[in-house]
Amino acid sequence: MDKQAKFNLGIVIVAALMMMLTVYFVSADSSTATATATVPASCGISLNDTAPDFGSVTAGSESSEVIIQVSNTGSVSANVTIEGTNWTDGGSNTFAVGYTKYALTSGTYASKTALTESAVQHMTDLANGDSDDSFLQMSVPSGQAAATYTQTITYTTVC
Partner 1 sequence: MENRKIIIILCILIVVLVLPNVLGDSGTATATVTVPGICSGNDTSCGPLSGPCENCNDYDGLYGDNFCYNDDVYKVYRDYYCLGTSCTYNETNQLQVDCEYSCNEGACVYYTGGGGVAYSKISGLDVGFDSLTKYSGIVIPSSISEISQITFPKFPVKNIGSQDTTINIKFMCDSNNKTYCAESWCSPNKNRFELKSGETEEVQISCIIPMDVEAGKTYSVRVYVSNSAQDSYKTLLKIPIAEKEVIENIAKQQELKKVSTNVALVGGGVVTITLLSFLLSKKLAL
Residues that bind partner 1 (CB under 8 A): 10-11, 14-15, 18, 21-22, 25-26, 28-29, 35, 39, 41-47, 49-59, 63, 66, 68, 70, 73-74, 78, 87, 100, 136, 138, 140, 144-159
- What is the rounded CA–CA span in Å between residue 30 and residue 40? 17
**Dmax over Cα atoms in the chain, in whole Å?**
84
Could you give the strand order of the β-sheet that contains 131-138, starting from the edge strand earlier in sequence? Answer: 45-47, 66-72, 131-138, 100-103, 113-114
- What is the rounded CA–CA span in Å between residue 152 and residue 4? 61
- What is the rounded CA–CA span in Å between residue 15 and residue 28? 19
What is the CB neighbour count within 10 angstroms for residue 91?
8
| Distance from the Cα of residue 56 to its chain's centroid | 27
Kindly compute the dihedral angle of the four CA atoms of residues 45, 155, 65, 148, in this order, to the nearest 10 degrees: -120
